[in-house]
């Protein structure tokens, strides 16, 4: 299993950005089942990874932010085991490295061997402008093995090449393309700066949004209001440089995925190993007049999910129906025949691995903070904010989510049908992060007290 930090759909096979060069992930896709519309359970690292790897949705666990899972006051019970612990309890040797979970204590259980990180070479920063907080740079090497992610990949390959007397569960957690966007120069050279195409960002894109949606776009929820707003980036003339940097780090991540896959292909385990590649959420690069993640729009929630399962007839196939990363845990339980004693959110995708043409019309739920949800079913996305306001998009005819249909009464039946999939109850955790969400979305002092 390879999980890639902040990797959006800017991957060749997914077509999120036609300029993206990811030949190794694309090659895996030709040998596997690609879920072209896979969605993160949350749009930041800790809640997405916790929900995916523990099998419990954020609105049930209370893990909404980047606080360490076991220090945040969240209601994740000790009996809810992470995926690696379930494999370990079923006789597997469990080996991990890099960023798998988010938070130090989350890596202390369920591993026979775990390596957190290796120091890499420094990067020369790319000047962007005094008012831009986003960072990118060129690392002073053409040897991937001198970088932190390259060393993690080398270490994972060495673990794969060892002799094992038990089945092996091996997870490589790559940190790029997470900020800072540092990569060796050869990956920057893949993208001519002057030829970089920029995302489409209509000036009036936010005019039809409720106040809660405009708060998301303005970075008032998540990192806080920041100078890395698209208007500042445009003023400083750094937009193309930042898009180039994100593309370069995506290609850098792809190269490390490729080295890991090549090592598996040349090993005795090539034909009896399930391979999974996934990102933990998407990323805005100016779309919806926003940078970073922390939103419930398509850009922040769509991410790769590719599964190669030997012996299944899904080689080179695609599933275009929406699925969620939380479907991965029950899928691997099914494929590996694991015994498990805990409930799991999500649905096993093993029927689709057996028959990719099988009809799939299930809702996929996304969360960002207490009470804020998105539901994706078929081409439709409903965003429901904690203050009761909503947005509705038809991604089939409006992939950029430029037209909010949530105020059009003609679509009330569609909104009602999607609203049925929203949780009736959700957990909150008191503390500064909760208070920030409450204050951002409360409509009045009375409403604030009601929260």
pLDDT in tens, the chain (451 residues): 999 999 999 999 999 999 999 999 999 999 999 999 999 999 999 999 999 999 999 999 888 887 656 555 566 788 899 999 999 999 999 999 999 998 766 677 899 999 999 999 999 999 998 889 899 999 999 999 999 999 999 999 999 999 889 999 999 999 999 999 999 999 999 999 999 999 999 999 999 999 999 988 886 666 655 678 888 898 889 999 999 999 999 999 999 999 999 999 999 999 999 999 999 999 999 999 999 999 999 999 999 999 999 999 889 999 999 999 999 999 999 999 999 999 999 999 999 999 999 989 999 999 998 899 999 999 999 999 999 999 999 999 999 999 999 999 999 999 999 999 999 999 876 666 667 667 766 767 777 676 6
- DSSP code, position 6: T
In a domain, 175, yes or no: yes
Q: Residue 208 falls within a domain, yes or no?
A: yes
Confirm if 421 and 365 have CB atoms less than 8 A apart.
yes
| 416 found inside a domain | no
Tokens coding 448: 């604030």
Burial (0-12, 13-18, 19+ Cβ within 10 Å), 389: middle
**DSSP category for residue 42:** B
Handedness of CA 160, 161, 162, 167 (dihedral sign): positive
For residues 318 and 37, give the distance between their C-alpha atoms in angstroms, rounded to a whole number. 10
Name residue 93's beta-bridge partners: 168
Whether residue 450 lies inside any domain: the answer is no
User: pTM for this structure?
Assistant: 0.94
**Tokens for 85?**
């612990």
Q: Characterize the bridge pairing of strands 2-4 and 168-174.
A: parallel
Instruction: Kindly report the CATH number assigned to the domain that includes residue 277.
Output: 3.40.720.10
90 upstream amide cis, omega within 30 of 0: no
108 C-beta neighbours (distance < 10 Å), count: 11
Let me know if residue 395 belongs to a domain: no
* Residues contacting residue 153 through CB under 8 Å, at least 6 positions apart: 144, 145, 172, 174, 256, 259, 260
179: containing domain: 2-362
Distance CA 345, CA 231 (A): 40
Residue 447 lies in a domain: no
- When divided into structural domains, the chain yields a total of 1
Residue 393 belongs to a domain: no
* Residue 124 is assigned to a structural domain of this protein: yes
Question: Residue for token digits 């070479």?
Answer: 121
């Amino acid at each position: 299993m390879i999980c890639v930090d902040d990797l959006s759909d800017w991957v060749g096979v997914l077509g999120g950005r036609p300029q993206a060069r990811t030949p190794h992930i694309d090659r895996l896709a030709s040998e596997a089942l690609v879920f072209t519309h896979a969605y993160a359970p949350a749009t930041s690292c800790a809640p997405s990874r916790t929900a995916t790897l523990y099998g419990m949705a954020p609105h049930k666990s209370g893990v909404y932010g980047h606080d360490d899972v076991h220090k945040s006051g969240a209601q994740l019970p000790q009996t809810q085991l992470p995926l690696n612990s379930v494999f370990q309890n079923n006789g597997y040797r469990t080996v991990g490295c890099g960023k798998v979970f988010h938070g130090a204590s989350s890596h202390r259980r369920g591993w026979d061997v775990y390596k957190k990180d290796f120091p890499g070479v420094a990067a020369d920063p790319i000047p962007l402008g005094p008012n831009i907080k986003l960072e990118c740079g060129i690392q002073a090497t053409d040897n991937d093995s001198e970088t932190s992610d390259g060393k993690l990949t080398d270490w994972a390959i060495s673990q794969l090449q060892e002799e094992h007397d038990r089945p092996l569960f091996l997870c490589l957690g790559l940190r790029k393309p997470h900020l800072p966007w540092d990569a060796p120069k050869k990956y920057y050279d893949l993208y001519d700066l002057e030829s970089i195409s920029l995302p489409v960002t209509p000036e009036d894109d936010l005019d039809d949004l409720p106040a809660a949606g405009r708060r998301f776009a303005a970075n008032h929820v998540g990192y806080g209001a920041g100078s890395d707003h698209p208007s500042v980036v445009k003023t400083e003339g750094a937009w193309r440089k930042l898009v180039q940097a994100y593309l370069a780090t995506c290609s850098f991540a792809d190269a490390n995925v490729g080295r890991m896959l090549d090592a598996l292909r040349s090993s005795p385990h090539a034909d009896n190993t399930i391979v999974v590649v996934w990102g933990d959420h998407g990323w805005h690069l100016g779309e919806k007049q926003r940078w970073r993640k922390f939103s419930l729009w398509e850009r922040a929630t769509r991410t790769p999910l590719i599964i190669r399962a030997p012996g299944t007839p899904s080689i080179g196939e695609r599933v275009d129906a929406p699925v969620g990363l939380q479907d991965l845990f029950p899928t691997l339980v099914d494929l590996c025949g694991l015994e498990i004693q805990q409930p799991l959110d999500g649905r096993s995708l093993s029927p689709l691995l057996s028959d990719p043409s099988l009809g799939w019309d299930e809702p996929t739920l996304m969360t960002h903070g207490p009470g804020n949800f998105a539901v994706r079913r078929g081409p439709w996305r409903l965003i429901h904010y904690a203050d009761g306001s909503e947005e509705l998009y038809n991604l089939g005819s409006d992939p950029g989510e430029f037209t909010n249909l949530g105020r059009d009464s003609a679509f009330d039946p569609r909104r009602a049908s999607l609203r049925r999939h929203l949780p009736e109850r959700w957990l909150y955790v008191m503390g500064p992060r909760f208070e920030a969400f409450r204050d951002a979305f409360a409509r009045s002092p009375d409403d604030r007290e009601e929260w």
